[in-house]
A and B are shown apart, each in its own frame.
Chain A
Amino acid sequence: MLLLVFVPKMAFSNDEKLAKEQTFETQESSEQKDHDASKLVEPTIKRRQVDIAKVDAEDFEIELFYGAMNVVDFGTNPIESLVLSYHVTEDLFVSASYGQTKTEQTSFEVISGARLLTDAERNLRYYDLNAGVNLLPGEGFIGKNIAFNSAFYAVLGVGSTKFAGDQRFTYSGGLGYRVILKDWSAVSVEVKDHVFNIDILGKNKTTHNLSYQLGLSFFF
C-alpha cells in the first residue's frame, strides 16, 4: 500500500530521470511482492529427479534348451534344460541350469540281457551353477542387409548329476554362440561337457558326457 502511495507522488516530480528510476524501483518492488506472495503457496509437486538406477533393468535371462546328450556307455538321447542367468556386466554373467534326459541300455546289457539299472535309475537329472564370459562380441550377417548382434560365450561351473541311483559331483564347461534377435530375445547353440565319476560298471571312472543344445531365451 505504501508503494502505491509512493508512485503517484514521484510522478509529479520534475526530475524525470529520478522518476523513471523510482518507477523502475517500484516495479521491482512489486515484483518482489508478487514473489513474496507466491512464496506463501508452497508448490506441492516435487521436482522430478532423474535417477538412472530407477530405469527398468533387463539383466536377467531365462533360456529353454533342447538337444541331445551323450552319456558314456548309455547312449545319446534327447535332453531338455532350463537356464536362468544374471548379466553382471556386458562381459560377465552367472547362471544356474537344470536339465534332464533318459538314457538307454548299455551294449553289455543288450548283448547279455542283464539289467544294470532300474527304469528310474536310468533317468539323468543335473543342476549346475556357472560363471560365464562373453567373447568376441560383434555383428553377424545373413545375406547383405540383415545383421544380428552376436557373441560367443564360455561357461564353467560345478553341479550335481543324479544318475544310476546316486548324486554325482559334476564339473561342467561349455561353449556357446548367442544371436540376439530382439532386445528381449535371443537364440543360442551350446556344447557342454559334464564331467562326473561313475562306478556302476565295476571300476570308478571319470566320464565326459557331452550335450549339444539349441536354446531360445528371453530377457527380463
Chain B
Amino acid sequence: MTLKTIRNLWFTLFCLLIGSSQLVAEEFARVKVMDAFIEMHTGPGRGFPIFFVAEQGEEIEILKSKTSWYKVRLKSHKMGWVPREQLAKTLQLDGQKIVIKDADFNEYLNKKWEFGALTGEFEGASLISIYAGYHFTENLSTEVTISQALGNFSEIRMATTNIVNEPFPDLKPFSWLPYVDKFTLSPFFGIGTGVIQTLPRATLVNAQDRNDNLLFVTTGAKFYLTRRFLLRMEYRHFVVLTDRNQNEDADEWKLGFSIFF
C-alpha cells in the first residue's frame, strides 16, 4: 500500500466520520416569514430562552427537527429553534403554503408501523412484552410479539404472531361532551399462534424445560394520546397445545405504550 493510498483511505474515513452532509453543500428547505415575526429559541423546548426574532419577509432555511421543534438558519447565519406552530406562519419562496401535517392524528389513521412495550400478568406471573406491527389498511394489521413472564416457579418465554382487525379505527365515544370530544380509541380483535417455552426456576429440583405450541384469541383497545404515542390495553386467551393428555388454558392481561410511524 502506497502512502497515497493510505492517505486517501484516511481521508475517506474522515469524510465518513464527519458525515458527507458537511462536505457536499446540502440543500435545505427555504421559507419566508409571513407573520410580523417569528421567535427563535436557543434550544428545542419551551424552557430555552428566545434570543432573536426573524422579521417579516426574512428568508429562513429549515435544517433539522427534534420532536416538534425545527432548527432554522437565517441569511445572517444566525441559528435557532422554532416550534412547529411558528413555522405555520411562513410561506415558500414562491408563495405557496408549506406542508405541515397538522397534529399527527392524520398520521395515526394512516400509520404503517407500530412498536410498543407492555406489562401485565400471564397466569399470575409478571409479564413484559414488546411487539412490532405492520398495517395493511387502517382496519387490518399483523403483529409479532415477544414476551417474558417471570413467576415464582418458572420463567416463561413466548413468541407469537397474529392478525388484528380494527373495525373502528377512530371511534370517538365522547364526541358529544366538551373537553373530551377528541378522545379517540380503536377497539381490536385478533387471532394468532406462537411458541411457548417454560424454564423452571433454578431453585426447583428435577424440573425440566418445556417447549409447546399455542393458539390464542386477543382483544383490546388502542387509545391515541399525542403525536406518535398510543396507550394500548390487551387481553389474550391462550390454548397451549401440550403433548400431555390435556391442553392448557392461560390468560394474559397487559397495558403499555406504543409509537407509530
Contacts of A58 in B (CB 8 A): 64-66
A-facing residues in B43-62 (Cβ within 8 Å): 43-49, 62
0 or 1 for each of B101-119: is its CB under 8 Å from A? (1 = yes) = 1000000000000000101
Q: What separation, in Å, do the CA atoms of A165 and B259 have in the docked complex?
A: 34
- Selecting from A10-18, A29-37, A70-78, A83-91, the interface stretch reads A83-91
- Ordered by A's residue number, 6 sampled pairs between the chains whose C-beta atoms are within 8 Å are A50-B29, A50-B30, A50-B92, A87-B66, A129-B119, A139-B47
Residue in B62, B94, B202 whose beta carbon sits within 8 Å of that of A166 in the complex: B202
Is A180 in contact with chain B by the CB < 8 A criterion? yes
Q: Are B128 and A86 in contact (CB under 8 A)?
A: no
Is B227 in contact with chain A by the CB < 8 A criterion? yes
Contacts of A180 in B (CB 8 A): 43
Is A92 in contact with chain B by the CB < 8 A criterion? yes
Q: Are B66 and A158 in contact (CB under 8 A)?
A: no
Is A94 in contact with chain B by the CB < 8 A criterion? yes
Given contact pairs A134-B45, A180-B43, enumerate 11 new A-B contacts (beta carbons under 8 Å): A49-B96, A57-B66, A92-B229, A94-B257, A129-B119, A137-B45, A139-B42, A165-B202, A183-B43, A183-B64, A199-B203
Residue in B92, B128, B227 whose beta carbon sits within 8 Å of that of A89 in the complex: B227
A-facing residues in B78-103 (Cβ within 8 Å): 84, 87, 92, 94, 96, 98-101
Least CB distance, A86 to chain B, in whole angstroms:
6
Question: How many A-B residue pairs lie within 8 Å, measured between CB atoms?
Answer: 129
Contacts of A183 in B (CB 8 A): 43-44, 64, 66, 71
Q: Are A166 and B155 in contact (CB under 8 A)?
A: yes
Counting chain B residues whose Cβ lies within 8 A of the other chain, the interface size class is 35 or more
Q: What separation, in Å, do the CA atoms of A219 and B257 have in the docked complex?
A: 22
Nearest-CB residue, chain A, relative to B116: A94
Residue in B43, B66, B99, B227 whose beta carbon sits within 8 Å of that of A53 in the complex: B99
Contacts of A53 in B (CB 8 A): 99, 101
Is A124 in contact with chain B by the CB < 8 A criterion? no
Q: What separation, in Å, do the CA atoms of A54 and B62 have in the docked complex?
A: 10
Contacts of B101 in A (CB 8 A): 52-53
Contacts of B226 in A (CB 8 A): 88-89, 92
Q: What separation, in Å, do the CA atoms of A90 and B65 have in the docked complex?
A: 11
Nearest-CB residue, chain A, relative to B31: A50
Nearest-CB residue, chain B, relative to A138: B47
Q: Are B62 and A55 in contact (CB under 8 A)?
A: yes
